[in-house]
Structure 1
Amino acid sequence: MYEYRKLSPAEKAEVVRQRLAKGYPPHSPPHPIKDASHYLITAACYEHKHRLTTPQRRQQLLNQLFETFIQENITILAWVVLTNHYHLLTETIGFRWLSKQLRLIHGRTAHQWNKEDGLTGKMWYSYSDRAIRSEKHYYTTLNYIHYNPVKHNLVTSPYDWQESSVNWYLQEKGRDWLRTCWLEYPVTDYGEDWDK
Structure 2
Amino acid sequence: MRYRRANIEGGTYFFTVVTFGRKKIFSTPENVELLRQGMKHVMKKHPFVIDAMVVLPDHLHCIWTLPPEDADFPVRWRLIKSFFTRNCGAEYRQKISDARQRKTEQALWQRRYWEHTIKDEQDFMRHVEYIHYNPVKHGLVNAPGGWAYSSFHQYVKQGRYPENWGAGVVLDFDDGVGCE
Aligned to 1:164: 150
Aligned partners of 1:110 and 1:190: how far apart in 2? 35
TM-score scaled by structure 2?
0.75
Q: Is the 8 A contact 1:43 1:85 kept in 2?
A: yes
Aligned partners of 1:110 and 1:60: how far apart in 2? 7
Aligned to 2:82: 104
Q: Is the 8 A contact 1:39 1:132 kept in 2?
A: yes
Q: Is the 8 A contact 1:147 1:158 kept in 2?
A: yes
Aligned to 2:126: 140
Aligned partners of 2:118 and 2:29: how far apart in 1? 29
Match for 1:48 among 19, 22, 39?
22
Q: Which runs of 5+ in 1 are unaligned?
A: 1-19, 25-29, 181-185
* Residue type at the aligned position of 1:146: H
Query: In structure 2, do the counterparts of structure 1 residues 96 and 142 end up closer, same or farther at CA, with 3 Å as the change threshold?
Result: closer
Aligned to 1:35: 8
Aligned to 1:85: 59
Query: In structure 2, do the counterparts of structure 1 residues 106 and 115 end up closer, same or farther at CA, with 3 Å as the change threshold?
Result: closer
Q: Secondary structure at the match of 1:153?
A: coil
Match for 1:124 among 93, 106, 109?
109
Aligned to 1:154: 140
Q: How many residues align?
A: 164
Aligned partners of 1:96 and 1:194: how far apart in 2? 18
How far did 1:96 drift? 4.5
Q: Is the 8 A contact 1:110 1:124 kept in 2?
A: no
Between the aligned residues of both structures, percent identity stands at 23
Query: In structure 2, do the counterparts of structure 1 residues 145 and 156 end up closer, same or farther at CA, with 3 Å as the change threshold?
Result: same
Which has the higher mean CA deviation after the structures are superposed, 136-145 or 49-58? 49-58
Aligned partners of 2:16 and 2:162: how far apart in 1? 28
For the pair shown, the structure with the greater C-alpha radius of gyration is 1
* Residue type at the aligned position of 2:85: G
Aligned partners of 2:36 and 2:17: how far apart in 1? 12
Q: Is the 8 A contact 1:169 1:178 kept in 2?
A: no
Q: Is the 8 A contact 1:146 1:164 kept in 2?
A: yes
Moved segments of 4+, more than 3 Å: 109-113, 115-120, 174-180, 189-195
Aligned partners of 2:83 and 2:134: how far apart in 1? 22
User: Quick check: which one's helix share is greater?
Assistant: 1
Q: Which runs of 5+ in 2 are unaligned?
A: 100-106
Trace 1:169-184 onto structure 2 (pairs within 5 A).
Answer: 169-176=155-162, 179=165
Q: Secondary structure at the match of 2:26?
A: coil
